[in-house]
Amino acid sequence: MTENMLDKNGIARRIAQEVKDGYYVNLGIGIPTLVANFVRDDIEVEFQSENGVLGMGPFPFEGEEDADVINAGKQTITTLPGASFFDSATSFGMIRGQHVDLTILGAMEVSQDGDIANWKIPGKMVKGMGGAMDLVASAENIIVAMMHTNRAGESKLLKECTLPLTGVGCVKKIVTNLAVIEVTAKGFKLLERAPGVSIETIKSATEGELIIEGEILEMNI
Amino acid sequence: MTENMLDKNGIARRIAQEVKDGYYVNLGIGIPTLVANFVRDDIEVEFQSENGVLGMGPFPFEGEEDADVINAGKQTITTLPGASFFDSATSFGMIRGQHVDLTILGAMEVSQDGDIANWKIPGKMVKGMGGAMDLVASAENIIVAMMHTNRAGESKLLKECTLPLTGVGCVKKIVTNLAVIEVTAKGFKLLERAPGVSIETIKSATEGELIIEGEILEMNI
Amino acid sequence: MINKKVANISEALKGVSDNMTFMFGGFGLSGIPENAIAQLVKLNIKGLTCISNNAGVDDFGLGLLLQQKQVKKMISSYVGENDEFERQMLSGELDVELIPQGTLAERCRAAQSGFPAIYTPAGYGTEVAEGKETREFDGKMYVLEHAFKADFAFIKAWKGDAAGNLIFKGTARNFNPNMCGAAKVTVVEVEELVPVGTLDPNQIHIPGIFVQRIFQGETYEKRIEQLTIRQRA
Amino acid sequence: MINKKVANISEALKGVSDNMTFMFGGFGLSGIPENAIAQLVKLNIKGLTCISNNAGVDDFGLGLLLQQKQVKKMISSYVGENDEFERQMLSGELDVELIPQGTLAERCRAAQSGFPAIYTPAGYGTEVAEGKETREFDGKMYVLEHAFKADFAFIKAWKGDAAGNLIFKGTARNFNPNMCGAAKVTVVEVEELVPVGTLDPNQIHIPGIFVQRIFQGETYEKRIEQLTIRQRA
């Protein structure tokens, strides 16, 4: 490829621009976890992990890890001043009660209606939904972080999801290695291109309805 | 009256015999509160108050009262070693989840079906049900502590309650100044008489169906 | 750390207005938001719907709002220590909805935690259940009760920090934690605002995410409703 | 004070038998009841239904019960780190019910708190909601989910006392508090059993009323699943 598709850190860097001052944010496993590294220093944000912590800090230094302090990805973490621990029912109370402002998670497929599939490939992969179904059913503001196509080169932005759903009509925005896309009533609306990536490339990588209106600027990352 | 009707402390003393080792007990306002004074010393019991405390102790000594430590009757209290404080939702979780073994409360009327009325006299007294509706709807083991008749001399043990109900079919046992009565499918079953009180007296003070089978012994208090 | 600290009581109550629905923590006079109530009296806004377990006494707590006839409707479980309340209720000036105490707590928690409604056995077969949906589960009857919708929740905590983390003391805890995050705006007053980082993260009763504004109350009378003591031997 | 302390692990697990339903606290390998699991392996009872957020790893946590084929059914939200689990599931030896994590937590809390069922938006429109009742409230769809019914809950706390009062540490808290009192018998193991009266009554996460038996665990490996560190500058 000659075009500058983003790598995982690039996607995370772009998503970090969506994180506003005063936001409580839940980050899923994978690319979403990387977002924390790129949030501006001059805004205040707190990260929630559904296993029961608010105010997560960076990973611990070697020797300072604590088996009793992990994130939802089971990684050892630290906490920042002002952090708190709580039980799982309270944690999902925060999520279901829409106290968490932004949820960023990965996906295997997203449909142009905002449906998302990310927990099961029948007969192949059955790891479970973890907290994802609660998060997508409850959050007002959901951003999906993913590659635009799967390993077989097939589009992950579809007319309709083919895999078992995680939630219906919930995704608002998608940031991929190729583009920033808004999910609208009419379909996927292209907002931004990755640097150097052509609209044609995005079009051919998008199976669902892609709406292109006006000039599509490159991401500013 | 020549007969030895019990006073409030007598009723409380008799009810205390129903409190078993290992019981968590919720005591209502009035006579029930007095029960704590008569529980045997050689058994372990913990008192719960629905405003959020488990392990209540005696009233404080003068000068040791704390506005932040009260019971459901808004009285200043103390706590014993092993006590805990909790929020109202947790408190009623204990009650609704049937973790509280015994509920003792007052009543204005009880029906022979076990209905209870104790929160409202239309047009006259409207203080509210407080936690009583939760307690009677949830508890497996409810004892009513009350006078057998009201101030006008009318029976409080009725075929049907006339006042707005607090709960239906929930009362299992009643201890009055005259008798200990079990609520059965067939009606009020007389278990014990207050010392010196005749069956005739109890009969005439009971409007509902009174079942008398075999010899009715005097309370042993 | 997201800062929830406000400069003063005026800023804390910014946005309150006539005809709103408010939640008030407290049981009796214990754990009530004394400073918020005083400010509401001062602002003299009217037509309020108040969700609170009790209604204060004649000259303290929510009784102060009743005195000024600021309250249109009370939703409570027990209102028995307030003569002015009784007068307004019997005269029809005041609309009163009495509900079981556990139902009150859980309708708050439902609002806090994103549940639309709950099934509780409390009140089944009584006038509390009239007009409400009932349902049997496993042979027992339950009443469907809906989450509250409130504009502001006024909370009193013992200690708190600028991140909005709260710790309560004794039975002054009561409904306060259940109301945090149960209204559009949660305003917390604390006896002591401590520096962020001094509260043990394991020991926080309410994480700051449930709180929008926090301030240290100027004074607390903490009146005792039923002083009850025993004699020294 | 009602004494919940048992003499040893045998007494703690007295009454467990084949075909029972158990709850296990823990998230991943954090906060799991290591000593109870070890004893269940020793007792080798079979046909178990296990309610637990995760299924351990091949050689630790609930993976130990899976190795011995003691488990008939798992009710979990995420089971992705266990090859033996996957083998048994795909071969049909193991029945697996995957449910949303928040639903799992709240079905425990419902059992603990006497709620027969709850309405949650999680899983609406997905296969999780198939065959379940759904309902609209305020324009949003919810799924009716029922309280769990379990015989034993196995809980791991940090500190506890003989009255059954518990304190948890860090994210090892997770489902543990929500499962206390959610089964017929709640068995708690603690890292440290402290004298009654030493825990601050304000700072108890779970009051002893939700606990039937408590003991101090002999050893805790507290294995870390994903050791993740950063480099010192």
Q: CA–CA separation, C114 vs C147, rounded Å? A: 8
Q: Which residue, C11, C14, C12, C26, is CA-closest to C223?
A: C26
- Closest residue in D to B92 (Cα) is D113
C in contact with B (at least 3 C-beta pairs within 8 A): yes
Burial zone of C5 (CB within 10 Å; 0-12 exposed, 13-18 middle, 19+ buried):
middle
Please give the torsion angle defined by the CA atoms of residues D179, C143, C30 and C163, in that order, rounded to the nearest 10 degrees: 50
Chain C residues with CB-CB distance to D137 below 8 A: 116-117, 146
Contacts of C3 (CB under 8 A, 6+ apart): A44, C162, C163
Tell me: the pLDDT tens digits for A42-58?
999 999 999 999 999 99
CB of A21 closer than 8 Å to CB of A93: no
In Å, how far are A86, A98, B23, B71, D193 from D199, measured between CA atoms?
Answer: 18, 34, 22, 21, 11
Q: Indicate yes or no: CB of D121 within 8 angstroms of CB of C114.
A: yes
Q: Indicate yes or no: CB of D138 within 8 angstroms of CB of C116.
A: yes
What number of C-beta contacts closer than 8 Å exist between C and D? 38
Subunits in contact with chain A (3 or more CB pairs closer than 8 Å): C, D
Element holding A134 (H helix, E strand): helix A132-138
Exposure on the CB side of residue C73, measured as CA atoms within 13 A: 13
User: How far A66 CA sits from the closest chain D CA (Å)?
Assistant: 8
Chain C residues with CB-CB distance to D138 below 8 A: 116
Chain C residues with CB-CB distance to B84 below 8 A: none
**β-pairing verdict for C95-98 and A45-49:** unpaired
Q: CA–CA separation, B186 vs B183, rounded Å? A: 8
pLDDT averaged over chain B? 95
Element holding C162 (H helix, E strand): none
Chain C residues with CB-CB distance to B167 below 8 A: 124-126
Chain B residues with CB-CB distance to D161 below 8 A: 82
Chain D residues with CB-CB distance to A60 below 8 A: 228-230
- Stretch among B149-158, B200-209, D73-82 having the lowest mean pLDDT: D73-82
Is a pLDDT exceeding 70 seen at residue B2? Answer: no
Q: CA–CA separation, D63 vs D97, rounded Å? A: 17
Fold (CATH) for A8-35+98-213 = Glutaconate Coenzyme A-transferase (3.40.1080)
- SS3 of residue D84 by DSSP: helix
Predicted pLDDT of residue A3: 64
Q: Indicate yes or no: CB of A46 within 8 angstroms of CB of C1.
A: yes
Q: What is the mean pLDDT of residues B37-46?
A: 96
- CB burial of A148-168 (b: ≥16 within 10 Å; e: otherwise) equals bbeeeeebbbbeebebbbbbb
Q: Indicate yes or no: CB of C170 within 8 angstroms of CB of D142.
A: no
Q: Where are the alpha helices (DSSP H) in A2-131?
A: 8-16, 31-35, 88-96
User: How far D224 CA sits from the closest chain A CA (Å)?
Assistant: 5
Q: Is the pTM of this model over 0.90?
A: yes
Q: Indicate yes or no: CB of D128 within 8 angstroms of CB of A138.
A: no
Which of D114, D115, D165 is closest, CB to CB, to B82?
A: D165
Chain C residues with CB-CB distance to B51 below 8 A: 27-28, 30, 171, 174
Q: CA–CA separation, B69 vs B65, rounded Å? A: 8
Q: CA–CA separation, C193 vs C165, rounded Å? A: 10
Q: Which of A133, A142, A162, A163 has the highest number of chain D CBs within 10 A, making it the mutation to test binding with D?
A: A133
Q: Which of C103, C108, C118 has the highest number of chain D CBs within 10 A, making it the mutation to test binding with D?
A: C118
Subunits in contact with chain B (3 or more CB pairs closer than 8 Å): C, D
For residue A76, list its beta bridge partners: A70
In Å, how far are B29, B45, B55, B78, D77 from B58, measured between CA atoms?
Answer: 15, 13, 10, 6, 46
For chain B, the three-class secondary structure string (H helix, E strand, C coil) is: CCCCCCCHHHHHHHHHCCCCCCEEEEECCCHHHHHHHHCCCCCCEEEEECCCEEEECCCCECCCCCCCCECCCCEECCEEEEEEECCHHHHHHHHHCCCCCEEEECCCEEECCCCEECCEECCCEECCCCCHHHHHHHCCCEEEECCCECCCCCECEECCCCCCCCECCCCCEEECCCEEEEEECCEEEEEEECCCCCHHHHHHCCCCCEECCCCCEECCC
Chain C residues with CB-CB distance to A39 below 8 A: none
In Å, how far are A121, B54, B134, C168, D208 from B89, measured between CA atoms?
Answer: 40, 14, 12, 15, 16
Predicted pLDDT of residue B126: 80
Residue spans of the domains in chain A: they are 8-35+98-213
Quote the tokens at residue A69: 């302090």
Q: Indicate yes or no: CB of C209 within 8 angstroms of CB of A94.
A: yes
D in contact with C (at least 3 C-beta pairs within 8 A): yes
- Stretch among B65-74, B157-166, C67-76, C85-94 having the lowest mean pLDDT: C85-94
**Is the ipTM, as predicted for this complex, more than 0.95?**
yes
Q: Which of B53, B79, B85, B87 has the highest number of chain C CBs within 10 A, making it the mutation to test binding with C?
A: B87
Chain D residues with CB-CB distance to C118 below 8 A: 115, 118
Q: CA–CA separation, A199 vs A194, rounded Å? A: 10
User: How far B217 CA sits from the closest chain D CA (Å)?
Assistant: 33
Contacts of B163 (CB under 8 A, 6+ apart): B108, B109, B117, B120, B121, B122
Q: Indicate yes or no: CB of C168 within 8 angstroms of CB of D202.
A: yes
Which of C80, C101, C229 is closest, CB to CB, to B76?
A: C229
Q: Indicate yes or no: CB of C224 within 8 angstroms of CB of B91.
A: no
Tell me: the pLDDT tens digits for D111-140?
999 999 999 999 999 999 999 999 999 999
Exposure on the CB side of residue B91, measured as CA atoms within 13 A: 34
Q: Indicate yes or no: CB of A85 within 8 angstroms of CB of C202.
A: yes
User: How far A148 CA sits from the closest chain D CA (Å)?
Assistant: 23
User: How far C108 CA sits from the closest chain D CA (Å)?
Assistant: 15
For residue D141, list its beta bridge partners: D136
In Å, how far are B23, B165, C215, C226 from B129, measured between CA atoms?
Answer: 24, 10, 34, 19
Pick out chain D residues at pLDDT < 70.
none
Quote the tokens at residue B43: 């058994």
In Å, how far are A147, B148, D31, D36, D188 from D191, measured between CA atoms?
Answer: 44, 53, 11, 13, 10
Backbone angles phi, psi at C97, to 5 degrees: -115, 110
CB of C179 closer than 8 Å to CB of C141: no
CB of C175 closer than 8 Å to CB of B88: yes
**Local confidence band at A105 (pLDDT 50, 70, 90 cut-offs):** very high
Going residue by residue through chain C (233 aa), what tens digit of pLDDT does each one get? Answer: 999 999 999 999 999 999 999 999 999 999 999 999 999 999 999 999 999 999 999 999 999 999 999 999 999 999 987 888 888 988 899 999 999 999 999 999 999 999 999 999 999 999 999 999 999 999 999 999 999 999 999 999 999 999 999 999 999 999 999 999 999 999 999 999 999 999 999 999 999 999 999 999 999 999 999 999 999 87
Quote the tokens at residue A152: 């077989």
- Closest residue in C to A57 (Cα) is C1
Place of tokens 């609660």: A134
- Closest residue in C to D149 (Cα) is C138
Q: Indicate yes or no: CB of A95 within 8 angstroms of CB of C114.
A: yes
Predicted pLDDT of residue D233: 75
CB of C150 closer than 8 Å to CB of C51: yes
In chain D, residues 22-81 whose CB comes closer than 8 Å to chain A? 27-31, 53, 76-81
CB of A60 closer than 8 Å to CB of D229: yes
User: How far A216 CA sits from the closest chain D CA (Å)?
Assistant: 34
Is a pLDDT exceeding 60 seen at residue A145? Answer: yes
Residues of D in CB contact (< 8 Å) with C are 114-121, 137-138, 140, 142, 146, 167-170, 173, 201-203
Q: CA–CA separation, B212 vs B215, rounded Å? A: 8
CB of D203 closer than 8 Å to CB of C203: yes
Is a pLDDT exceeding 90 seen at residue A4? Answer: no
Predicted pLDDT of residue B1: 45
**Local confidence band at B3 (pLDDT 50, 70, 90 cut-offs):** low
In chain C, residues 186-225 whose CB comes closer than 8 Å to chain B? 205, 222-225
Residue type, C16: V
Place of tokens 């209204």: C183
Q: CA–CA separation, B111 vs B207, rounded Å? A: 9
CB of B189 closer than 8 Å to CB of B166: no
Q: Indicate yes or no: CB of C172 within 8 angstroms of CB of B164.
A: no
Quote the tokens at residue C44: 């003299």
Q: CA–CA separation, D4 vs B187, rounded Å? A: 39
Chain B residues with CB-CB distance to D1 below 8 A: 44, 46, 55, 80-82
What number of C-beta contacts closer than 8 Å exist between B and D? 74
Q: CA–CA separation, B99 vs D55, rounded Å? A: 29
Q: Indicate yes or no: CB of C209 within 8 angstroms of CB of A80.
A: no
Going across the sheet that includes D134-137, the strands are C134-137, C140-146, C117-120, D117-120, D140-146, D134-137
Burial zone of C137 (CB within 10 Å; 0-12 exposed, 13-18 middle, 19+ buried):
middle
Other C-beta atoms lying within 10 Å of the C-beta of residue B74: 23
CB of D65 closer than 8 Å to CB of D40: yes
Which of D114, D163, D208 is closest, CB to CB, to B98?
A: D114
Q: Which of B18, B44, B46, B50 is catalytic?
A: B50
Chain C residues with CB-CB distance to D121 below 8 A: 114
Q: Which residue, A198, A150, A151, D131, is CA-closest to A161?
A: A150
Q: CA–CA separation, C33 vs C28, rounded Å? A: 12
Q: What is the mean pLDDT of residues B173-198?
A: 97
- Closest residue in C to B71 (Cα) is C171
Residues of A with catalytic roles: 50
